[in-house]
């Protein structure tokens, strides 16, 4: 049972990361992924973070939408580069 509302700040807390708005923006800006790198395969996650993200996506958990939003944000530069 989820007792925390799935939001980006709460996702960062679940991942054990600084959840301030500035820290989230910095993380996203400094952890951009190549287009072909899945969020769950990113090299900067710990095993437990990777497992949480994977389970959230596989189980269509309440976190799925927020994880998808983070995925899009982490691929923003790659998407812009690929757009003519």
The whole-angstrom separation of Cα 6 and Cα 8 is: 7
Question: Which two three-digit tokens encode residue 22?
Answer: 């500035």
Q: For residue 49, what is the domain's CATH number?
A: 1.10.10.1130
Q: Confirm whether 12 is domain-assigned.
A: yes
- pLDDT 10s per residue in the chain (84 long)? 445 677 999 999 999 999 999 999 999 999 999 999 999 999 999 999 999 999 999 887 788 999 999 999 999 998 888 877
Q: Confirm whether 2 is domain-assigned.
A: no
This prediction has a pTM of: 0.87
Q: Confirm whether 67 is domain-assigned.
A: yes
Range of the domain at 68: 8-82
Q: How many domains does the chain have?
A: 1
Q: Confirm whether 27 is domain-assigned.
A: yes
Asked whether 9 and 23 are in contact (CB, 8 A), the reply is no
Q: Confirm whether 1 is domain-assigned.
A: no
DSSP string, 18-49: --SHHHHHHHHHHS---TT--GGG-TTS-HHH
Which has the closest alpha carbon to 19: 32, 5, 33? 5
- Helix (H/G/I), strand (E/B), else coil: 62: coil
């Amino acid at each position: 049972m989820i007792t925390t509302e799935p939001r980006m700040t709460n996702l960062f807390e679940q991942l054990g990361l600084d959840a301030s708005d500035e820290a989230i923006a910095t993380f996203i800006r400094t952890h951009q992924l190549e287009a072909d790198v899945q969020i769950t395969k990113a090299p900067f996650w710990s095993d437990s973070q990777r497992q949480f993200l994977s389970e959230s996506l596989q189980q269509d958990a309440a976190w799925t939408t927020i994880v998808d939003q983070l995925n899009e944000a982490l691929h923003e530069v790659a998407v812009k580069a690929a757009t003519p």
